[in-house]
Amino acid sequence: MLDGIHEIVVATRNRKKVDEIARMLDGTGIKLLTLDEAGECPEVVEDAPDFRGNALKKAREISSCTQRAALADDSGLVVDALGGSPGVFSARYAGPEATDLDNYSKLLRELEGVPTGKRGARFVCCLALVLPDGEEFVFDGVCEGVIAEKKMGQSGFGYDPVFIPEGHERSFAEMSPQEKDSMSHRGRAIRAFAEFLLDG
Ligand code: ITT
């Protein structure tokens, strides 16, 4: 356990990410605070060129604003046939106000006619923990898979209905939360973080 750290602010506005992080850290003894519970902080501008840079930027700014330990997640979908897009722009792929439906519909359109063997993609998650004394830790997780031909399932969020993880025929949106956690990019990064909490 991190000495003297019992509460961590989850530096994200994405409620679904908070839910995933909270259910996987259950039992570690760490109390998670949402951004709303931690106080008023300015929006963080995500302008780094990679997931790690954005995750560290979010965690640093929220830790400095709240004077607490902050855990940020930067994540996204990297699609081979699109040269790595949408990548760090996953949340805004179809525009600044895009909904999940707008984003994955655009992705399906861009991949129209691309054969199954060329629809490879991976979800990437970078979790950054910044402590009030400025110490920084980063945990990564990747989940390989393919982009479906059409929307499959209702659960989860973001691109879940169009992402089929490797070795499976169902999308993330057709899996239970626990099944998704067991193989997802965020699940892997959070398990690395949880091990660090238990060993540290
Ligand atoms: P914060 O920056 O406030 O954390 P955000 O939703 O804007 O929230 P990101 O900038 O990290 O988060 O964008 C990640 C996007 O990638 C997210 O909005 C989804 O569209 C997608 N994404 C990430 N993890 C996902 C998952 O587990 N399932 C489906 N889509 C995911």
Between the CA of 4 and the centroid of ligand 1 the distance, in Å, is: 30
Give the C-alpha distances (Å, rounded to integers) separating 199 from 2, 3, 25.
9, 11, 14
Establish if 136 belongs to a structural domain.
Answer: yes
Averaged confidence pLDDT in the chain: 95
| 165: CATH | 3.90.950.10
Residue nearest to atom 2 of ligand 1 (CA): 12
- What confidence tens digit (pLDDT) does each residue in 117-175 have? 999 999 999 999 999 999 999 999 999 999 999 999 999 999 999 999 999 999 999 99
67 CA to centre of ligand 1 in angstroms: 25
User: Quick one: CA torsion of 13, 191, 130, 88, rounded to 10 degrees?
Assistant: -50
Which pTM does this prediction carry? Answer: 0.96
Contact status, residue 123 vs residue 184, Cβ threshold 8 Å: yes
Answer whether residue 180 is part of any domain. Answer: yes
DSSP 42: P
Ligand 1 interacting residues, C-beta cut-off 6 A: 12-14, 17, 46, 73-77, 90-91, 103, 123, 156-160, 172, 184, 186
- Can you give the residue range of the structural domain that contains 78? 7-199
What is the tally of structural domains in the chain?
Answer: 1
d(CA 45, CA 94): 18
User: Hey, is 161 helix, strand or coil?
Assistant: helix
Any domain includes 1: no
Asked whether residue 69 is domain-assigned, the answer is yes
User: pLDDT tens digits for 53-63?
Assistant: 999 999 999 99
Structure tokens at 69: 């330990």
* Confidence band, pLDDT 50/70/90 cuts, at residue 1: low
Alpha helices in 15-150 (DSSP H): 15-25, 35-38, 51-66, 100-110
Find the 142 Cα to ligand 1 centroid distance in Å: 14
137 lies in some domain = yes
Here the tokens at position 41 are 């902080």
CA-based radius of gyration for the chain: 17
Over the stretch 69-78, which tens digit does the pLDDT of each residue have?
999 999 999 9
Domain-embedded: residue 89: yes
> Cα 38 to chain center, whole Å?
20
Distance (Å) of CA 25 to CA 28, 32, 63, 187: 6, 9, 19, 10
**120: in domain:** yes
